[in-house]
Amino acid sequence: MAIIGGGPSGLLLSQLLNRAGVDTVILERSTREHVLSRIRAGVLESGTVELLREAGVGDRVELHGLPHDGCYLTDDDLMVHINFKALTGKQVMVFGQTEVTTDLYSAQDAMGTMIIHGVEDVRITDLDQSQSCVEFSIDGVSKKLNCLYVAGCDGFHGVSRNTIPLGVRREYERVYPFGWLGVLSETPPANHELIYANSSHGFALASMRNENLSRYYVQVPTTDKVQEWSDDRFWSTLKKRLPSDTAEAMVTGASIEKSIAPLRSFASEPLRWGNLFLVGDAAHIVPPTGAKGLNLAVSDVYYLHSALIDAVKAKRSAGIDGYSDRALARIWKAMRFSWQMTTMLHRFDDEDSFAAQMRKASLNHLASSETARRELAENYIGLPY
């Protein structure tokens, strides 16, 4: 198996395949340090934690992850509690994606799997033959890797998706007219559970990594630059958007990371073309409202790893034949949920006064209807595989 991309999708797939005796080679463009420097979301569904455990990388999640029974959705001082545990019997685990990736690299090292960093000019060929080929160069030297299958785990800007001919591919996209400015700070979290805040000033999120490491976000125009956001400006903007009690009690401090990410929903179908299978961000992007990005990548890996093991070890093709439809069915539901959460909680620039009333009504409905809260909780904790 050739795996293009050594992010969470590629690493987890490689880990599960190698444990089942299927050999893989990961081809990654960046250095390991660069991959591990990216700060991403930090909420794991229970299905994600279970698959990490099955892959032999569950120990640190178990030890250092923070189990959360619920979260808050707020509108100025209205706070709606979504009690996942009471509504669904399940929890989520707060544990940074960077930590997951670190654990996967260590586990891959321990197994001695092959990860080649610094590859350039990746080209995938012979996808309709019984043996496929990945050509690439490293330190200016051209190389060729023959393989049975190729997993495209190379993120939104990778080459795998574009290998599928335009006439075969269908793409769906919604670009939102705002981004998230994220700040990491060595301060205690503002609240013991996450707060997703709608306000007349725009959206904010209070999240965390541990008891002395907070992660916050505020909605900003896509044209904003990080340099325009001093720590003071960030904290005062955040405080205006959170419920007043929380804002008053919140501890602020110097930021240790600050970045702006655009928000988009994107999906490309099908996920399979010949011997190529797309996984994770290579095939779909969701806005971070609801923290579905990593969890969706993991459910793709869940479907694909068993299908590939069946194809390679037992020469049974039903699993790989069904991969695209099976994974897409779950992907579209998570696309819907993250789009709905984004629409319900963000201020759109050109919106009329009606839009703000609709957002308030959505939160008031959640406050008064257990059925509505259960529907949200069921999606947030992760739909079944």
Binding segment for ligand PHB (CB under 6 A), chosen from 14-22, 39-47, 137-145, 312-320, is 39-47
Residue 15 binds to ligand APR (criterion: CB under 6 A): no
Omega before residue 189 within 30° of 0, cis: no
Among 10, 288, 319, 382, the residue binding ligand PHB under the rule CB under 6 A is: 288
Give the tokens for residue 112: 């001695």
By beta-carbon proximity to ligand APR, the closer residue of 4 and 107 is: 4
Minimum distance of ligand APR from residue 116's CB (angstroms): 9
Residue 296 binds to ligand PHB (criterion: CB under 6 A): no
Active-site annotation holds for 172: no
Residue 202 binds to ligand PHB (criterion: CB under 6 A): no
Total residues in contact with ligand APR, by rule CB under 6 A: 29
The SS3 assignment for 101 reads helix
By beta-carbon proximity to ligand PHB, the closer residue of 247 and 291 is: 291
CB 161 within 8 A of CB 278: yes
Q: How far is CA 252 from CA 205, 232, 234, in A?
A: 15, 9, 10
In 20-164, beta strands by DSSP E: 25-28, 43-44, 66-68, 70-75, 78-83, 92-94, 114-117, 120-125, 132-138, 141-147, 150-152
Which of 72, 105, 288, 346 does the annotation list as catalytic? 288
Which of 196, 302, 303, 323 does the annotation list as catalytic? 196
Residue 264 binds to ligand APR (criterion: CB under 6 A): no
By beta-carbon proximity to ligand APR, the closer residue of 119 and 366 is: 119
Sheet holding 284-285, edge to edge: 78-83, 70-75, 195-198, 204-210, 213-220, 170-185, 255-269, 284-285
Among 291, 301, 363, 381, the residue binding ligand PHB under the rule CB under 6 A is: 291
Rounded to whole angstroms, the Cα distance separating 384 from 379 reads 9
Out of ligand PHB, ligand APR, none, which partner does residue 122 contact, by CB within 5 to 8 A per kind?
ligand APR
Out of ligand PHB, ligand APR, none, which partner does residue 42 contact, by CB within 5 to 8 A per kind?
ligand PHB
By beta-carbon proximity to ligand APR, the closer residue of 147 and 250 is: 147
Which of 105, 149, 217, 292 does the annotation list as catalytic? 292
Rounded to whole angstroms, the Cα distance separating 307 from 301 reads 10
Q: Which amino acid is at 17?
A: L
CB 98 within 8 A of CB 40: yes
Rounded to whole angstroms, the Cα distance separating 206 from 214 reads 8
> Can you give the binding site for ligand APR, defined by CB under 6 A?
4-10, 27-30, 35, 40-41, 97, 119, 122, 153-155, 157-159, 280-282, 293-294, 297
> Can you give the binding site for ligand PHB, defined by CB under 6 A?
41-43, 194, 205, 207, 215, 288-291
